[in-house]
Structure 1
Amino acid sequence: MMPKSALLFILALILKFSSSSDWVVDGDVECKENIHGLGEFSHLLQEATIHFYERDDKRVLDPDDLLDGPVLTDIMGHFQVKARGVYETFTTPDPYLQIDHLCYTPTHKQPLRMGCYYRTIIDLGKSSKAINDLKVHIILGMESARLISGKGKDLEIKTIEKLHCPPK
């Protein structure tokens, strides 16, 4: 049997590396495309799939925490993801959005194949504070994943885009 002091130490470690926060991201996803011969056009992206994650430290071999999702954008391209409660973290929280979509992304070298979709990862930035009611407007396609805050200014973000083809 483990001594009480060891149990208290383990419990203290668990509580130290857990975080209790309310996270809310409210946004819209827009797709900008340029069709040869027709010109440039833009539309709000319906039925894009949004997952809200908190990235964990890869050195610990701990998978990222799924905070909310999958959530589909509505007919107006709108989505809202929320996370409430406790999740474990050994570092400063590092939230990101994973967006699966069919908006043509010219920065990607491969053409979109039947049954596949683009996957865009948008880092929201490390923060020791919760994201309380962050409003975003995400532009995919020609803009290659630009994120605009609700205050009308671009946020510093990193994006990763790749083609994803689920196994049949």
Structure 2
Amino acid sequence: MHIEGTVTCLMELNAISVPARLQGARIEFWEEDTPGSDDDLSEEKPTTDFNGEFKLSGNIYDGPFTTPDPYILVFHECYSPKSESPIIEGYHYRTWIYLEPKEGKIELNIKVGKAEAAEMIVVGEDKHYNLNKITTQLIKK
């Protein structure tokens, strides 16, 4: 999979929801296996640029008898009410976004913060997938 994406932080300012492109969020690409043995698919761990954009790629092949379960991890400091804890110094949020296993070029639009959502577009298929399996937790840096 070749992935290009944008991460947006949805904040609330004076009771108004405000989207902002998230700069400096670390992105990792993984494939889920048995608990504790997930495969790291990306050699590099990019961070989002000043426009909240990132690029990465990895081979999602998981053998002839299983369907791959790829996911993206986004490490960020955008407050997420879905997490059980507010952000504190020395910690950040880790958000899992499970992808549809597709080959080729993928475009991702990820929203973290007040409202979490992700949309996946397979380039050339002209198909949009709303990714509903999203989890966020607060972890130590």
8 Å CA contact 2:4, 2:106 repeated in 1 = yes
Bigger Cα Rg = 1
Unaligned stretches of 5+ residues in structure 1: 1-22
Helix, strand or coil: the match of 2:45? strand
- Once the two structures are superposed, what CA deviation does each residue of 1:94-153 show, in whole Å capped at 9, x if it has no partner? 10000000111112231111011010000003x3xx431110110111212x01234695
Report if the CA contact (8 A) 2:99-2:120 is conserved.
no
After TM superposition, give the deviation of residue 88 of structure 1 in Å.
5.1
Distance in structure 1 (CA, Å) of the matches to 2:129 and 2:99 = 12
Partner Cα separation in structure 1 for residue 115 and residue 127 of structure 2: 16
Decide whether the 8 Å contact of 1:32 with 1:139 is kept in 2. Answer: yes
Asked if 1:140 corresponds to 2:112, the answer is yes
> Closer, same or farther in 2 for the Cα pair 1:55/1:71, shift >3 Å?
same
Q: Does 1:49 align with 2:21?
A: no
Equivalent pair of 1:67/1:82 in contact (CA under 8 Å): yes
- Greater share of residues in helix: 1
Contact map agreement 2:4 2:107 (CA 8 A) in 1: yes
CA contact (8 A) 1:124 1:157 kept: no
Q: TM-score, normalised by structure 2?
A: 0.84
The CA distance in 2 between the partners of 1:152 and 1:56, in whole Å, is 27
Distance 1:155 1:39, change over 3 A: closer
Report sequence identity in percent.
30
Equivalent residue for 2:38, pick from 64, 71, 93? 64
Q: Which runs of 5+ in 2 are unaligned?
A: none
Q: Hey, what's the Cα distance between the residues in 1 that align with 2:120 and 2:61?
A: 26
**Structure 1 contact 57–91 (Cα < 8 Å) conserved:** no
Give the equivalent residue in structure 1 for 2:16: 39
Identify the residue that residue 28 of structure 1 maps to in structure 2: 6
TM-score (structure 1 length as normaliser): 0.71
SS at match of 1:80: strand
Question: How many residues get paired?
Answer: 135
Q: Separation in 1 of the partners of 2:97 and 2:34?
A: 17
> How big is the shift at 1:157?
2.8
Could you report, residue by residue, the CA deviation over 1:68-108 in whole angstroms, capped at 9, with x for unpaired residues? Answer: 14110000000111115x86546211100000001111122
Letter in 2 for 1:67: L
